Chains A and B, each alone.
Chain A
Amino acid sequence: MPSDPGLRLANITVTVRGHGETLPILAIPALAIDAGTSIGLAGPSGSGKTTLLHVIAGLLRPDHGTVVWDGSEVSRLSEAARASWRRRVVGMVFQDFLLVPELSALDNVLLPCGFSGFSNRAQRAPAIALLAELGITAPRRRAAAMSRGEQQRAAIARALLFRPKLILADEPTASLDAMTATAMTDLLVAQATATGATLVVVSHDTRLLSRMDRVVHLDRGRLA
């Protein structure tokens, strides 16, 4: 079992069943991501980028192989234990942001306090400060009333609030205009650098990928 800090994937296989047969959608023999570095996952649509991200996040258990974080095998944990691991380690930015439109930016950022063991009251000031740092000066505006760029920033703030050691972002600049996308990229990289977090980004955006320490390409579920 490797004990070096960071993320280690070995012999990962994910399959889907359909029409009476089993089809492999992801096959990664080995992938190492050192702690505090950033990596971009690139590839055409359907190449398995998001599947790989979900495997890393513990949202999807691979059929075979191991996912190890800081020496602990995450893929062997139960669902509840993986949720607990995510609570301690992971911050996620989703494609389409997945904010709750009926809540304010601040309440969206504080939402995980309800189940992460953090005090909502204690996290309020840091959340407002983080949102301000990300350029959101009206944190009590409803997410539905915010621009795409503001929503994206709120989503990033939600992922970063508890200073996660592993930041996972799925197409964080998709559907943003070039200027906003650049600003978001700067923000994400700067935040990861500032907190020493490991950053894994799925993207088609070459400008974003160029800011990563390393980019790996996937094609039909395999490292190209």
Chain B
Amino acid sequence: MNPWPMLIADLRAMRWTALLVMLLIAVAVAIGVSIGAQERALRQASARAADDLPLLIGAPGSQTQLVMTAAYLQIEAIPLIDGGLLNTLAADPRVAGVAPIAFGDIVRGWPVIGTTAPLVTAWGRLSPSEGRVFRAESEAVIGADVALPIGAEITPSHGVKAHGPVGTETKDEHARKHEGTVYTVVGRLPRRGTPWDRAILVPIETVWETHGLGNGHQIEDGPLGPPFDAKAVPGVPAIVVKPRGVADAYMLRSAFRQGGTMALFPAEVLVSIYRSIGDLRDVLLVVTALNNLVVLLAVLLVAVTLVGLRRRGYAMLRALRAPRSYVFLVIWLGVAILIAGGCVGGLALGWIAATLAAEWIAQVTGLHAVATPGWSKLRLVLILLLVGSALAVVPAWLAGRTPVSTALRES
């Protein structure tokens, strides 16, 4: 049996309806696919952003705010902790590395982060893709997405978020500029796919000095980084600690959860956030599944109506010697093709939507999430296709129920 000529004729006759049906299914599928792909991509990207911050120490308060500020550079004013802890931690045998994080200044929308060289190189894991790491207080290393050339000279403003090329500063930025503080860009880091790609990393000493807090050392223009002068070192918003081992990490977390500090693994905050996102995703998935079911039922209704409208043509086929199974095959295959086309279109549409959303998120947050269709999503689409194909039996079966003689007499 060759159902294609009649099938193609049916699809031609109902081309606009067929296109609308496929679009309807495609949109329903795309919503589910893009939600799933985006959620998974965001999860991976956000976990990657926290990779280089094994243990965070800050002032007691919101754990989420500390992680959002330190890992994702969603900068907000948070209480400071005693800068002397940097020396304490540097001397602790359980600590493999320690680095402060200080912020508040901005250059054309790029946050200026004061820290020390170990954090710039992600504890020695990274080396600049261009230039080198800062060696003097007036030098800066930029993230991969900072549109500045090596050798550029920049002056930060205090807390003014404005975007655009250097040299087009707003009045507000000019008014809050730290006159006298000039950084020369000496290096660029490779892309990490995290908000740190948009950061300008400078010696913490310069950040302190810019804000009138000294440079944390007894002498001017001495070597950068620890040890700091216990009496001169100012407070810092957060300290990143790289413990030597897992047991050390837990001991340090426990030790610095008291006495005016809060220690946490960013991962534990992420797990809590993921749990909330996961709950939301589950709700969205249920809603999406119900949505898909409603769309399938709507498609079924459309199919039954269309088959009713073409009933005389199908009766003609039967009168022209076609077995019932031929007509069944034509109708079933037609509906199944529409559903399959919608599913494939939905996968493509969902992937495009997820990619666009990922680009938008990357622009807003710096999190480079790569959206790929996961197996679970494909499985859901496959289930939708199977259920749809099973439901397509209904209009095909109904078409066979009308007596040929009766259908032929209809006008």
Residues of chain A having any CB pair with chain B under 8 Å: 50-51, 54, 57, 59-60, 79-80, 83-84, 86-87, 90, 92, 94, 96, 98, 100-103, 107, 110-116, 120, 158
Contact = CB atoms under 8 A, between A and B. Distances in A.
A160 to B, nearest CB: 12
B72 interface: no
Given A60-B405, A102-B9, A115 B323 contact: yes
Given A59-B404, A112-B322, A115-B322, A98 B313 contact: yes
List of 6 A-B pairs having minimum Cβ-Cβ separation, nearest first: A87-B321, A114-B2, A102-B9, A60-B405, A98-B316, A102-B12
Contact of A59 (B312, B405, B411): B405
A147 B152 CA distance: 79
Interface residues of B, number: 29
Contacts of B8: 102
Contacts of B3: 114
Contacts of B313: 98, 100
Tell which of B6, B313, B405 has the most Cβ of chain A within 10 Å.
Answer: B405
B259 interface: no
Contact of B405 (A51, A83, A103): A51
A87 B6 CA distance: 18
Contacts of A98: 312-313, 316, 408
A111 B321 contact: no
A83 B9 contact: no
Nearest to A80: B323
Contacts, number: 79
Contacts of A102: 8-10, 12-13
Nearest to A142: B12
Contact of A107 (B1, B5, B319, B404): B5
A83 B6 contact: no
B67 to A, nearest CB: 62
A83 B316 contact: no
B5 A50 contact: no
A171 B354 CA distance: 60
A115 B319 contact: no
Interface in B5-34: 5-6, 8-10, 12-13
Contact of A114 (B6, B13, B312, B408): B6
A112 B320 contact: yes
B5 A110 contact: yes
Contacts of A57: 319
11 contacts: A57-B319, A59-B405, A60-B404, A83-B324, A92-B319, A94-B408, A96-B411, A107-B9, A114-B5, A115-B326, A158-B320
A103 B318 CA distance: 18
B403 interface: yes
B1 A54 contact: no
Contacts of A111: 5-6, 317, 320
Tell which of B322, B323, B403, B408 has the most Cβ of chain A within 10 Å.
Answer: B408
Nearest to B9: A102
B231 interface: no
B6 A100 contact: yes
A102 B409 CA distance: 21
A92 B8 CA distance: 23
Nearest to A144: B13
B321 A90 contact: yes
Interface string B393-408: 0000000000111001
A54 B4 CA distance: 28
Contact of B1 (A51, A94, A114): A114
Contacts of B316: 94, 98
Interface string B317-343: 111111110100000000000000000
Nearest to B3: A114
Contacts of B408: 54, 59, 94, 98
Contact of A116 (B10, B319, B321, B404): B321
Given A51-B405, A107-B5, A86 B12 contact: no
Nearest to B316: A98
Nearest to B1: A115
Contacts of B324: 79-80, 83
Contacts of B5: 103, 107, 110-111, 114
A100 B9 contact: yes
Contacts of A59: 318-319, 404-405, 408
A79 B319 CA distance: 11
B405 A54 contact: yes
Contacts of B1: 114-115
A115 B321 contact: yes
Contacts of A103: 5, 9
B2 A113 contact: yes
Nearest to B322: A115
Given A59-B404, A80-B324, 5 more contacts: A83-B321, A83-B323, A102-B9, A110-B5, A114-B6
Interface string B360-386: 000000000000000000000000000
A90 B324 CA distance: 17
A140 B67 CA distance: 71
A18 B241 CA distance: 88
Contact of A83 (B4, B10, B318, B411): B318
Nearest to A89: B321
Contacts of B322: 83, 112, 114-115
A101 B317 CA distance: 14
Nearest to A116: B321
B30 to A, nearest CB: 30
B333 to A, nearest CB: 12
A120 B411 CA distance: 30
